Structure 1
Amino acid sequence: MILITVLTNLPSSDARREQTTDASGGDDDDVGSLTRPDARETEGSRNRALILLGSSISQLPIWGFSMSYGVFQEYYMNHWTLDGSRDVTGIIGTTSNGVLYLSMPFLFAAFTRRWARQRQTAAVAGAVLASASFVLSSFSTHVWHLVATQGVLAALGCALVYSPTTLSLGEWFSAATAGTGTGTGAKNHRAVAYGVTLSCKNVVGSVMPFLARALLENYGFRTAMRIWAAVALGTSLLSIALIPTHPTILASSSADSGEARRTRTIPWHFLRHHTFYVYSVAIILQSAGYGIPQSYLPTYAREITRLSETSATLLLTVFNVPGILASSLFGYLSDNRYFPLSATTVTAISALCSSLAAFLLWGLTSQGSLALLLVFSITFGFFAGGYSATWGGVINELESEAAHWNEAVDAGMLYGLLNGARGIGYVSGGLLTIPLLKAGSGISIGEFGYASTYGPLILFTGLSSVFGGWGILWKWMSSLRRLL
């Protein structure tokens, strides 16, 4: 909350310029003109505080289930009462993340311009859809029922909540708008604002595994899903009510002129340049491996290292806790005035360190090695968990490139497409887990993780993670070609 207060009360450069100009006049009219910018800036600060608070609360209903799915999967495997193959439950978590992310480019495109004024209505509809889907899943009798309700329908509902709220967050911390109090000071801290909300996402991922475990053990799967449905609905509606609509949306949506309609067209010039594709491929590769520990770490802890249910749940919590700090830190690294790092550098740091954690820590765990698994969870959770917080820096770089070419660009649409790339990675990684597990099913050549059924999964996680930072190699090669 301290960080939120600091962010929202930073004066914008526009407001500072107006105050300086007005103060130099010295007459009564100048005093009046000084008061108006101050009032607008105060209103803008209040709205930015509300959008940060609302976006932070929304992380619980949006990500609570998917980030704790490893606990649900372990419960399904040990308390199987459904028809169908147990192995299919392994794709529910990655499918949920994949559907959520894959739908974002379309939803961001729809709510950026054409249906901008319907954002709140769509978010409420999404909250109802997600809650109803979780209730329906409690009546499941076959494993495909879980895939359809928890993996697809609930994820679509969560995406309808996420997209409007995230677009509003980007707008309130974006370019200056006359009379709104959102100046360039807000723009300069957009990456940090994204980092704050992503930190709250990791708070959810830290608390939810134990909450899910408590619900499952005390009430069973079916009642637990109904309780979660009620929690998701209540917190979603609260967060939606807190988020204000940006004045530019109201103004552009109410305009009827041909010029106003043309300004609502989304600019696609960035598709002509390599930079967008380089980062998109990196995000796909990193995301393909990132979702695997979230889904399989508790099961791995029980089957391979022979740990208790409590220890297995602790691993998933410890996996998400470091992301609370990492998200804000990685956002700050690319968005500060003292030692700003390029987006390629920050993504490379995240990718290389998380890859080393998978290879050197997870792969070398053996029976009873809780300490090594905890170190892996902390290290991988920190560096891989902060990866998406680098996207604020990526967007800043894409905006700078567009300015260089004198082209328009829509930051909200860019963010939606980057999320879509993450969805492709999640789905691809989820689909690969079943054949990778089958490939490792006959392995029993030692006591380490590499020699277990999960050996191929561990290798895939490490390889996909390191390629998430390949953008820095592309930049080096481009610089070398220019020199030659």
Structure 2
Amino acid sequence: MAQHEDSSVTALQELQQPSPSQDEQNQEQALLHRNDDRKRALVLIGSALSQLPIWGFAMSYGVLQEYYFDHWTLDGSRELTGIIGTTSNGVMYMSMPFLFALFTRRWVRFRQTAAAFGAILACTSFMLFALSTHVWHLIATQGVLAAPGCTLVFSPLTLSLGEWFKTPNRLCNRAVALGISLSNKNIVGSACPFFFRGLLDSYGFRVTMLAWGALILTMSGTRGRKIPWLFLRHKTFWIYTTATLLQSAGYGIPQTYLTEYARNVSNLSPTFSTLFITLINIPGICSSTFFGFLSDNKHFRLSAQTVTAISAITSALGALLFWGLAGRGGTALLVLFAMTFGVFASGYSATWGSTMNDMEREAAERNEVIDSGVLYGLLNDARGVGYVTGGLVTVPLAKAGSTTSLGRFGYGTTYGPLIVFTALSLACGRCGIVFRPKWKRLLPTW
């Protein structure tokens, strides 16, 4: 009897205790939102900072290409160095879909370990490069070995970024977050050419690579589940991957040959010719975020076809009208081309946020599941195939150009075929419009 009375008293006391007020619940929710926003901000900052060791070399390779031209001391054909930059980018992008798939599902718990191993691998490759004596050593270390190491750093960080910003939040959405991260890639591409130029002029390429390898080293448990591959049946996926591949085939050419063109055709100094790489990357700082905003803007929504077409068509016209018409004394046109290319071509990969939104909407309409991390990796793979293809094509194209200047324009130089190929390749990045019969989808909606 006494025990029953005690339990009754306890129950009565619990009923009399005040329940949390609505204000207290709102305060707790606000605190949770602030903590989540803080974590998202840290993930975004970490992803942005990681762009330095990942892309610093690849986006500055034109400086090394020019240095090889003036200070060739290795065995083998110097022309083969033209494929190093595009091969490095290509290997990085082509390895991304496999790593994205593994780190999305099966190897989630190994992301941090993989990033550390990637930094060590990239550092080792640049250290080995300092011992190179033949041109194939350069291709093996700079073009092939360093790339997987950088990708092992890039893939886990990008996946984490996409996961944190996948759902709408007060900080920014996924496409904008990816655009901000890619903008820092352009900051790296703007500063690193002068970093490499200073080291190359002062210490030579061997010490430069040792220093870069050391910089990379200092910067840097769930059950596997089945990955849904149904999106491979969708025509939209193949349209966008084909457009990405074709656009990427020409995207790496100006980054490799523009400084050499400025030096040999426009007779500019090494320092001034290096500036063109910076002029390509500085506008890209804002353009990646801008195209990410266009992809995720809720008030003035543009289709993925429209966003990619803006990037592709404008950059192709820039190559035809500015680079193609810039001959001797055409410094102003080269500057216009570098800036136009930097604004519109550099922002092309930021349009993938819109592409992924399209694919996710199609999957939802068909009641299918889609893994955005794997999709992003496959788009990078298409970009890698394009880089490698473009790099292989540049060698015969450079040889096909006129050995003597024909006229005052760039078309009449040995770089003429490269200019035409670049423009056509960039223009193919808008092929998504060609295969879309419903033109009303191109128009903005409010």
Matching of residue 174 in structure 1 with residue 132 in structure 2: no
Look up the SS of the partner of 1:82 in the other structure.
coil
Long gaps (5+) in structure 2: 1-17, 442-446
Matching of residue 305 in structure 1 with residue 305 in structure 2: no
What is aligned with 1:146? 138
For residues 326-358 of structure 1, what are the alpha-carbon distances to aligned partners after superposition, in whole Å with 9 as ceiling and x for unaligned? 001011012112211111101001000000000
- What displacement does 1:314 show? 0.7
- What displacement does 1:447 show? 2.1
Residues 243 and 428, structure 2, Cα contact 8 Å, conserved in 1: yes
For residues 390-446 of structure 1, what are the alpha-carbon distances to aligned partners after superposition, in whole Å with 9 as ceiling and x for unaligned? 001110110011001010011111100000000010000000000101111446421
Matching of residue 206 in structure 1 with residue 206 in structure 2: no
Residue type of the alignment partner of 1:466: A
Matching of residue 380 in structure 1 with residue 341 in structure 2: yes
What is aligned with 1:194? 178
Residue type of the alignment partner of 2:359: L
- What displacement does 1:476 show? 3.0
What is aligned with 1:3? none
Matching of residue 52 in structure 1 with residue 13 in structure 2: no
Matching of residue 165 in structure 1 with residue 126 in structure 2: no
Alpha-carbon separation, structure 1, partners of 2:23 and 2:110: 39
- What displacement does 1:364 show? 0.4
What is aligned with 1:137? 129
Residue from 439, 445, 467 that aligns with 2:400: 439
Structure exhibiting the larger radius of gyration computed from Cα positions: 2
What is aligned with 2:105? 113
Residue from 257, 267, 272 that aligns with 2:233: 272
- What displacement does 1:368 show? 2.3
Residue type of the alignment partner of 1:218: S
For residues 454-474 of structure 1, what are the alpha-carbon distances to aligned partners after superposition, in whole Å with 9 as ceiling and x for unaligned? 000000000011110110121
Residue type of the alignment partner of 2:240: Y
What is aligned with 1:291? 252
Matched ranges for 1:274-423 at <5 A: 274-423=235-384
- What displacement does 1:149 show? 0.5
Alpha-carbon separation, structure 1, partners of 2:260 and 2:290: 30
Long gaps (5+) in structure 1: 1-25, 176-183, 237-249, 256-260
Alpha-carbon separation, structure 2, partners of 1:318 and 1:401: 38
What is aligned with 1:37? 29
Residue type of the alignment partner of 2:200: L
Look up the SS of the partner of 1:103 in the other structure.
helix
- What displacement does 1:43 show? 2.0
Residues 307 and 368, structure 1, Cα contact 8 Å, conserved in 2: no
The percent identity for this pair of structures is 59
What is aligned with 2:79? 87
For residues 151-208 of structure 1, what are the alpha-carbon distances to aligned partners after superposition, in whole Å with 9 as ceiling and x for unaligned? 1111110000000000000000014xxxxxxxx3279710000000010000000001
Alpha-carbon separation, structure 2, partners of 1:68 and 1:188: 30
Alpha-carbon separation, structure 2, partners of 1:108 and 1:96: 18
Look up the SS of the partner of 1:266 in the other structure.
coil
Matched ranges for 1:210-221 at <5 A: 210-221=194-205
Residues 79 and 395, structure 2, Cα contact 8 Å, conserved in 1: yes
Residues 174 and 186, structure 1, Cα contact 8 Å, conserved in 2: no
What is aligned with 2:10? none
What is aligned with 1:17? none
Residues 311 and 347, structure 2, Cα contact 8 Å, conserved in 1: yes
Alpha-carbon separation, structure 1, partners of 2:145 and 2:258: 25
Residue type of the alignment partner of 2:84: I
Look up the SS of the partner of 1:364 in the other structure.
coil
Alpha-carbon separation, structure 2, partners of 1:409 and 1:32: 38
- What displacement does 1:361 show? 0.5
For residues 28-75 of structure 1, what are the alpha-carbon distances to aligned partners after superposition, in whole Å with 9 as ceiling and x for unaligned? 254554344333222211110111110010000000000000001110
Residue type of the alignment partner of 1:460: F
Distance 1:406 1:186, change over 3 A: farther
Alpha-carbon separation, structure 2, partners of 1:479 and 1:364: 36
Alpha-carbon separation, structure 1, partners of 2:157 and 2:357: 20
Which deviates further from its counterpart, 41-50 or 348-357?
Answer: 41-50
Residue type of the alignment partner of 1:199: S
**Matched residues, number:** 424
Alpha-carbon separation, structure 2, partners of 1:76 and 1:31: 68
Distance 1:404 1:186, change over 3 A: farther
Look up the SS of the partner of 1:217 in the other structure.
helix
Matching of residue 223 in structure 1 with residue 222 in structure 2: no
Distance 1:467 1:300, change over 3 A: same
- What displacement does 1:216 show? 0.5
Alpha-carbon separation, structure 1, partners of 2:191 and 2:151: 21
User: When the two structures are superposed, what TM-score results if normalisation uses the length of structure 1?
Assistant: 0.85
Residue from 217, 220, 235 that aligns with 1:233: 217
User: When the two structures are superposed, what TM-score results if normalisation uses the length of structure 2?
Assistant: 0.92
Residues 98 and 425, structure 1, Cα contact 8 Å, conserved in 2: yes
